[in-house]
Amino acid sequence: MGKVKKEIQELKDTCQRIYSELGYAGVIDYIEEALAQGESIILLEVQYERCEACDADMPSINHECLVCGQETKISKQQLVDAVIEDLIKGFEKGDYTVLDELLNMLPVKKLVQALPEEDWQVYDELNNSYFEVMHQDFNEDAGREEIQIHAGENGNVIIYQDGDKLGFIVDVYGQNDHVDSMTVWEEDLNPKDDPDTETIISMGR
């Protein structure tokens, strides 16, 4: 066994022993303390990644959870941290191009809320959007990819993919006496067993 593989295995064995004695909190404390003290170069390879078995972001190495040994996945926080590091490198060179582009992609409401609350009124003329994108990405709680748009005071429009099904929801609240919520699936609009059916709505697939 090579030196690196041996050190990784020793780290796994140590974490397993700590877990059996102190639980996952003990493993995290051990990793954090070891990183702070710079005890081993191999610890620099440890990343916090999503472990479905632990249902949390856990310390891992080579995409393997150091708590339970299950496979882990790169988390959004890792992406955020990587972008921050790249931005810092740009700032050191006086380059704010990427930050400028990222901020311009944000909805006005989100951008305004990044300022101290006492400054919000300065941008009232800009901050008057009727629609607001509440979520656009994989929704961990719902277990699906979706775009959720707040449509004024009485509803949401949600476009989502659930497994191999693509559809949208018009979610109405507080107005049930007038109109009901509805869910529409793309496959219902264009059934596969009826090639002559005209596509009513294109969902981009």
**pTM metric for this prediction:** 0.54
Domain ranges of the chain: 3-74, 129-189
For residue 190, the number of C-alpha atoms closer than 13 Å in the C-beta half-sphere is: 12
pLDDT single digits (tens) 99-147: 999 999 888 888 898 999 999 999 988 877 777 777 778 777 777 788 8
CA distances from 118 to 45, 123, 185 (A): 43, 11, 44
The pLDDT of residue 205 is above 80: no
- Output the CA angle 11-12-15, nearest 5 degrees: 85
Q: pLDDT at position 119, please?
A: 93
pLDDT single digits (tens) 7-48: 889 999 999 999 999 998 999 999 998 888 876 777 878 888
pLDDT cut 90: percent of the chain above it? 29
What distance in Å separates the CA atoms of residue 62 and residue 45, rounded to the nearest whole number?
8
What is the phi/psi pair of residue 200, to 5°? -80, -45
